[in-house]
Amino acid sequence: MTTNLDFPEGLDDAEHNAWTEVVSLLEEAAQLLHLDEGTTKMIVAPERILQVAIPVRRDDGQVEMYTGWRIQHDTSRGPGKGGLRFHPTVDVYEIAALSADMSIKCAVVNIPFGGAKGGVKVDPLTLSHGELERLTRRYTFDIAAILGPDRDIPAPDVNTDPQVMSWVMDTISMIRGSSTPGVVTGKPVAIGGTFGHAGATSVGVSICAGAMFEQLGIEVKGARAAIQGYGKVGAPLLALLHGMGMRVVAVADVGGAIHNDAGIYPDALHEHFLETGTVAGFKDADPITEAELFSVESDLAVPAAMGGAIDESVAKVMTAKVMVEAANGPTTREAELILDKRGVITVPDVLANAGGVVASYFEWAQDLQGFLWERELFAKRLESTMKDAFDNVYARSESLKVPMRQAAVALGVERIAEAILLRGLFP
């Protein structure tokens, strides 16, 4: 019963994978829960797909055209919530898949948001600061009609940051004629952000890793971890795992990969990264290939880079007992089957990296209240929310006798279905 959407023609099957894989997960969960076909169709199909053409005047006076999207997958549980990414490989299938992931993610951690996602097909490294601002503001203007604190709330994602969110918020505020800090999250504290948002995704990943090790009876102290990605999630995560007593023995980024079985110290690697822009060449570790990263002896594997990084070849050589997905959609369905067969326990992205959207919910709530929480309160509520979500997914995995990914998607789909049935069908 796979839902076919009116996506642009001309893309081959390989480029459909991100969307079709999410659809198959949603439909499998619906079957597991014995949902009727009509409800399943409503859960699978995105509510709104907005594609916009974005003209930008470059610094040399020439006008360049870019394509952007904002997709709202489901708003039955609340306003749409999801990041905004700028990347040259972005397409409508990827954004649709990520918006559906957000619907599940928000439901899994039981916050009152639906799922949405936005993206612009652009390499931001080719833009000056001024060009990036003009691109952001024009894209925001083009999608402004569907944004708002009670409609759809963007946040940072790949190649976007608090500065980009500041431009989005200011653009909407100028259009509306009033300050609207609740229209985006991940902002600087000075204009309505919140303490604790930065690094919240990494905190959530570390909480899930610790909880899974506890369930499996694996000692955290001295356990070895390998991290793929040293960006907004991977870098803070290295420090968090080190603080828990783990040895991070391997790290990779776009520049290369490194390995030291005695452990890589966060502060030293951070200093090296600031000097060179990559983990490659770090003097206190040996160079390895990225293909070798997850084949080194480890107990925990953390993909924290781009989607699809864990494919069949990686799954066959992974040595870790536990994989916690810090990235969105890092594991292909083929790789997932191999990992399950080999007994590797996966904490899926819709649970593991949900710390970021939980933090966004807290920021949104504070913007609506006009009251800034203390750091301690933020951290306490983030930890309790993530632990409750992990416990619920793990319990569902045990009761349904399915892997954690299927359990998480089933829990999310169940909560979305409940909202749909309670609201009814209009008209």
Positions marked catalytic: 117
Assess contact for 80 and 114: CB atoms under 8 A: yes
Q: Dig out the tokens for 267 from the structure.
A: 């502060």
Assess contact for 349 and 328: CB atoms under 8 A: yes
Alpha-carbon gap, residue 148 to 206, rounded angstroms = 32
Q: DSSP 3-state assignment of 268?
A: helix
Q: How many CB atoms lie within 10 A of CB 108?
A: 26
Residues near 366 by Cβ (< 8 Å), separated by ≥ 6? 192, 194, 372, 373
Between strands 80-87 and 152-156, the pairing is: parallel
Q: Which helix (H) or strand (E) holds 242?
A: helix 234-243
Q: Dig out the tokens for 415 from the structure.
A: 């909560």
Q: Dig out the tokens for 285 from the structure.
A: 């570790």
Assess contact for 397 and 409: CB atoms under 8 A: no
CA angle at 23 for the pair 17 and 25, rounded to the nearest 5° = 100
Longest distance between any two alpha carbons in the chain, whole Å = 66
The CA distances from residue 257 to 178, 234, 260, 278, 416, in Å, are 48, 13, 11, 9, 40
Alpha-carbon gap, residue 84 to 167, rounded angstroms = 12
Alpha-carbon gap, residue 72 to 50, rounded angstroms = 9
The CA distances from residue 346 to 66, 198, 220, 224, 294, in Å, are 37, 25, 17, 16, 14
Dihedral angle computed from the Cα positions of residues 403, 409, 414 and 417, in that order, rounded to the nearest 10 degrees: -150
- Ramachandran assignment for 56, one of left (phi > 0), alpha (psi -120 to 50 degrees), beta (any other): beta
